[in-house]
Amino acid sequence: MINPPASFTALEKAIGIHFHNKDILVQSLTHRSAVRGKRVQGHNERLEFLGDAVLELVTTTYLFQFEEKSEGELTNWRAALVRGEQLATVASELKLGDYLFMSKGEEVSGGRTKISTLANALEALIGAIFLDQGYDSANGFCTEFILVQLQDLLKQGKDRDEKSLFQEKSQELLNTTPHYEVVDEHGPDHNKQFTCALYLGDEKIATGKGNSKQRAEQAAAKSGLEKKKWK
């Protein structure tokens, strides 16, 4: 296992939160590779599961205030805020990769900068804040570092998620509506991994993976847009 090169004190200062239980902070920043083969469950996947739910509640509650917006628009806004790539960007700004515990092999393979690893670590950190400090602190963290990005994301058109874009393009250019199928799922209930395939009629266009069906479908749509050169 590789110890993180950065001090947790610096991280606590950066996020403005002083943890009462340092063990839960450590667990939120422990990659599965750091405990592989050991009889402990000290990695961050359960905290990621919790943090994902907390983030969705915080984000949904925040967006609910925009009374003039339709459910569809708000759903797209939420997707833009909690998308893996966006969470990884926030994690990078916090230099979260510097604090991760991981195996030597994982680090050598670029583990500290992987989008999925950074996004998962940010969600795990949210889960840790919730357990250690309560909902209000988790809400404050999400608001300060994630929800604050909303206007910039809207200006960049990031609220137009890949699934919507692919459907619009396929209907416009091919007069066909795409559909998705789960072709594989594995892992424990708290950390299932899904693989979804994107189809136009009987033709399989692309596949995508994620820790939820929705994320796997988004990944498949993103790959489909690239293959069709529709971006």
Catalytic residues: 52, 123
Question: How far apart (Å, rounded) are the C-alpha atoms in residues 114 and 136?
Answer: 29
Alpha-carbon 103 to chain mean position: 22
Under 8 Å between Cβ of 25 and 19: yes
Task: List b or e across 199-216, with b for residues whose CB sees 16 or more CB atoms inside 10 angstroms.
Answer: bbeeeebbbbebbeeebb
Distance CA 79, CA 214 (A): 10
CB 59 within 8 A of CB 147: yes
Side-chain-side CA neighbours of 138 within 13 Å: the count stands at 25
